[in-house]
Amino acid sequence: MPERHTLIRSLHDVGLAAWFGGSLMGAVGLNGAARSEGGTEAATDRIASAGWAKWTPVNAAAIGVHLFGSGGLLAVNAHRVATQQGVAASTAAKTVVTAAALAATAYARVLGKKVELASSSDPEDAEKAGKHPIELDKARRQLACAQWVVPALTGCLVVLNALHGEQQRPSEQASGMWQRAASLSPHLPAGISHYLPH
């Protein structure tokens, strides 16, 4: 019987759910509400920035939880990555998409902080913004794009996670391991490769 890894899987899934759901809600709900209620671009920026600033530490915690769970799942499924056909490819794809989502999240936060400082009515923030002037309209456009890229990429992670779940079905594991063994059969001694299915 396979071992259960409920805690690790829960950390992985809950962290990803918060990362995806929070970024999507922010792009749709928070930004939309800020545009409806702000009246001016500066007020819209202030409302949206305040909301995103409140979400940032929660999002960081969710990402950390997800990455911890991902590392744990990779460790307990290392044998499947090595022996089951297709698992290594889907794991590599998931790693690349995760890295892209992390980069997009960090980039969105950097842009968001710049817009927050530039639109703030606080004299200290205005002073900080003056030390690092930005083209505000350009930053707003880039931020809007980055804030949509994050849920798109984390949504891809949800799909890849579903694929991993399918690959863990017993029939998929057996088939994938046979295919992997068959692909290695030319490199095996003749006496061993003779028993592999063709």
* C-beta of residue 163 within 8 angstroms of C-beta of residue 152: no
DSSP string of 29-85?
Answer: IIHHHHHHHH-SHHHHHHHHHHHHHHHHHHHHHHHHHHHHHHHHHHHHTHHHHHHST
Q: In this model, does residue 77 exceed pLDDT 90?
A: no
pLDDT in tens, 79-135: 888 888 778 888 999 999 999 999 999 999 999 998 988 887 777 766 676 666 778
Percent of the chain topping pLDDT 70? 80
Query: How many helices and strands (H and E) does the chain possess?
Result: 9, 0
Cα separation, 117 vs 112, whole angstroms: 9
This prediction has a pTM of: 0.79
pLDDT in tens, 12-37: 999 999 999 999 999 999 999 999 99
